[in-house]
Amino acid sequence: MGYTDQRFDVNLSILFTELPLLERPAAAAAAGFTAVELWWPWIDTPTPGPSELDDLRKALRNSGTRLVGLNFYAGRLPGPDRGALSVPGEESDRFRANIDVAAEFAASVGCKALNALYGNRVEGVDPAVQDELALENLVTAARAADRVGAILLIETLNEPESPLYPLVSAPAAIEVVDKVNAATGLGNAKFLLDVYHLSMNGEDVAAVIDAYAAKTGHVQIADNPGRGAPGTGSLPLEELLDRLNKAGYDGWIGLEYKAGDRPSARSFDWLPESARSAR
């Protein structure tokens, strides 16, 4: 099987960042890709003006790229924040203000997956209080996603890089997925299986795939160590993606790795050009 049997998209929040945001979709298209994803690109505001939303919409349309994944507002990414929805006060307020904005933008460009980063633990706040707030906000986000025909993604991060983030194992994320689905009855909450984060946590990625492929709504990859392109580390990424395929996952594989000290366009040598366009 191999890489030619997968559907790949490029995360424009970690690749092509040497370019302004509105030039990145065209750069991805020039590299042969037809699908992209993004962290919430306006880190300073959960509610950008109509002109900013329209400019990104046009950049996607003019480049011929499809947005297949979008994060809800999650604070400063990259940076110390790891989400806002479980952080009491201003940050959770900002997340709630973003829900309909993000869902409506996703609908306008045909994006069917919205990722909600859980948020860091906050000193002096009972974790149970944060978890209650998180479930409330995730239920609201799941319902908004459902209204536009999208799924809600719940992601595991890794403890070495995100020590205050509570979802640092696949079972922890799956528990939240199940709670959201039980609360809404919609069944549209899914697991975002990030191979890099799982491996950084020391999890058996193959076992995670076997256990949770049916609950997986999106996959992201980077090699480990280094979070570089496939082949720069020691992860058997091709074998793991084959395993996902055999387990029944046929969704998008997001390229969420660092290009290193070379232009992003030169970081795709591992992937045949024929495999870069969605089929």
The alpha carbon of 251 is separated from its chain's Cα centroid by a whole number of angstroms, namely 13
Residue closest to 177 by CA, chosen among 194, 157, 195, 192: 192
Residues 206 and 240 sit within 8 Å (Cβ to Cβ):
yes
Q: Is the dihedral of CA 172, 173, 175, 179 positive or negative?
A: positive
Residue closest to 258 by CA, chosen among 3, 17, 8: 17
Could you give the count of Cα atoms lying within 13 Å of 204 in the half-sphere of its Cβ? 4
Three-state DSSP class for 36? strand
Paired residues of 192 in beta bridges? 155, 218
155 is catalytic: yes
Q: Which two tokens stand for residue 164?
A: 């205050």
Residue ranges in 86-167 assigned as alpha helix (H): 90-109, 127-147
Which of 37, 91, 203, 256 is labelled catalytic?
256
| H helix or E strand, kind and range, residue 198 | helix 195-200
| H helix or E strand, kind and range, residue 154 | strand 151-155
239 is catalytic: no
Which of 123, 155, 161, 238 is labelled catalytic?
155
Cα 159 from Cα 130, distance rounded (Å): 18
Catalytic annotation, residues: 155, 256
